[in-house]
Amino acid sequence: MKTLQERVHGTPPPSAWGLGKIHHVFRVRKNFKNEGTKENNLLSLSYGRMIRKDIDAAEGLLPESFETYQIVEPGNIVLRLTDLQNDKRSLRQGLVHERGIITSAYDALEVSQEHDPRFWAYSLLALDLAKYYYSLGGGVRQSINFADFPNEWIAVPDKQQQTAIADFLDRETARIDRLIEKKVQVLTVLGERRRAVAHQSLAARGLSRFDWQPDRQSFVFQWSQAGWSAMRVKDVVGFMTSGSRGWGGLLGTEGEAFIQSGNIGRYMEVDVASAHRVQPQIGAEAERTLVRKDDVLVCITGGRTGAVGFIRALNERAYINQHVCILRARSRTIHPELLAQILWSDIGQKQIGMCQYGVKQGLGFSELANLLIPVPPRGLHDELIEGINRATARLDNLTDAIQKSVARLQELRASLITAAVTGDLDMATWKRRGMTERRTDAIEAGIPA
């Protein structure tokens, strides 16, 4: 018979490994509610890790009482199996390292003392990386519970082997993670430099001041050259709208592109190719939410509020969802890309940040429409855009190279985990030959100085 791991990963288990049923190895913890709020160590699942959050300063949607949350213990494995349809990038499980509470919307699993929970956390991660969970969902939102997992046969090494694999992966993935973390820090610096380019370019041609005036409760601009003006977004766009709310049931694997906030990148790029698909649409609602070349896209709700994208080219029909707003510039008033650059720069982002407060993660239409932007004389716009693009070209090339190296490191990490938990890796030989260092050095060699 084929085990779940063999069916998903294509690797037969070692002959010395035993067999077990998935619901016999994992048990869902029940009746561990935080009654009386006896525990206040709030935990959250973030990028495949359980992190601690300040319960008094936590942002986002919070319950009236944390009594509805569930208590978890070290060694438990948390699964987030909600919203499988709309989020196919997140890592959906994490190993608990400290006692705390998590939302009851997640499943908390435990294994018996004859198992090493670290090994099984890695094993579930391998299934997640192979996108196994998404084959189990159903309905519009595709949210499931661990109880929905078929009770399949799984390959089960003895505890000594589980611990050896977990120790190996803890050590080797930590090396990869440290390198990824350093690269992410470099990307953050590059992003800050890139975001400053538009402001610096405007300052070089006449914008002499931009700051917050508490007495006026507004931002103020000053100019060193004639012909500049401060205008609100609503005065420089001819069209402004957000997407429809009722299209969730129309999503599929084929059709026209349906752009969501996750398709808007860190540097104003819009990844249309990887967008969800929607059945071809006709009618006024389709035309209203249809994206065009030179449109500026702004995320107006959720954790990515304020993300800005610019449609430089468009090779297919694409629509936006309700979390994204289209701004269509009046080209005689402002160059569309200059509008995007200003909103993406600290000039726009500081104002967007002022519109959000407390647990609010959203930007109203009126708030977006009333953002103030500096508008130089129209004859300078093309020159400014050319200058900004020249200044950001090297930053973009370096950023692209580092992002690709991070992706390769993540692929190395994923393949290492999958090979180890399926018994398809000679760990002793890998360690003796220093294969992790060899692979990471090869990836590093591909980055330009």
| 3-state secondary structure string across 24-36 | HHCEECCCCECHH
Whole-prediction pTM value?
Answer: 0.79
**Residue 3 has what pLDDT?**
94
**Residue 60 has what pLDDT?**
52
> Is residue 143 within 8 Å of 81, Cβ to Cβ?
yes
Query: Strand, helix or coil at 161?
Result: helix
CA dihedral for 162, 167, 170, 175, sign (positive or negative): negative
Q: Specify the pairing of strand 18-21 against strand 153-156.
A: antiparallel
**Residue 445 has what pLDDT?**
79
Contacts of 409 by beta carbon, 8 Å cutoff, 6+ apart = 176, 179, 180, 183, 440, 443
**Residue 370 has what pLDDT?**
93
> Is residue 350 within 8 Å of 307, Cβ to Cβ?
no
Residue 223 amino acid letter: W
CATH H superfamily, domain 206-375: DNA methylase specificity domains (3.90.220.20)
Cα separation of 270 and 53, whole Å? 31
Q: What does DSSP assign to residue 321?
A: B
> Is residue 347 within 8 Å of 203, Cβ to Cβ?
no
> Is residue 373 within 8 Å of 230, Cβ to Cβ?
yes
Task: Tell the residue number behind the tokens 């393949």, with chain if given.
Answer: 415
H helix or E strand, kind and range, residue 238: strand 237-242
Please, is 137 exposed, middle or buried when counting C-beta atoms within 10 Å of its C-beta (0-12, 13-18, 19+)? middle
Q: What is the DSSP string of 251-308?
A: EESSSEEEE-GGGB-TTS-B--TTSEEE----SHHHHHTB--TT-EEEE-BSTTTT-E
> Is residue 420 within 8 Å of 291, Cβ to Cβ?
no
SS3 content of the chain, % helix, strand, coil (to 5): 40, 20, 40
What b-and-e string marks burial along 333-360, b requiring 16 or more CB atoms within 10 Å of the CB? bbbbbbbbbbbbbebbeebbeebeeeee
How crowded is the C-beta side of 86, counted as CA atoms within 13 Å? 17
What residues does each domain of the chain span?
A: 158-205+390-449, 206-375
Question: What is the distance, to the nearest Å, from the Cα of residue 211 to the centroid of all Cα atoms in its chain?
Answer: 31
Cα separation of 258 and 410, whole Å? 27
Report mean pLDDT in 10-residue bins for the chain, 449 residues: 92 94 94 88 90 71 79 95 72 93 93 95 95 72 81 95 97 96 94 91 91 79 92 96 78 84 89 86 86 96 90 92 94 96 93 72 87 95 94 90 94 96 95 92 74
Angle at 329 between CA 270 and CA 347, to 5 degrees: 75
Which residues are registered as beta bridge partners of 331? none
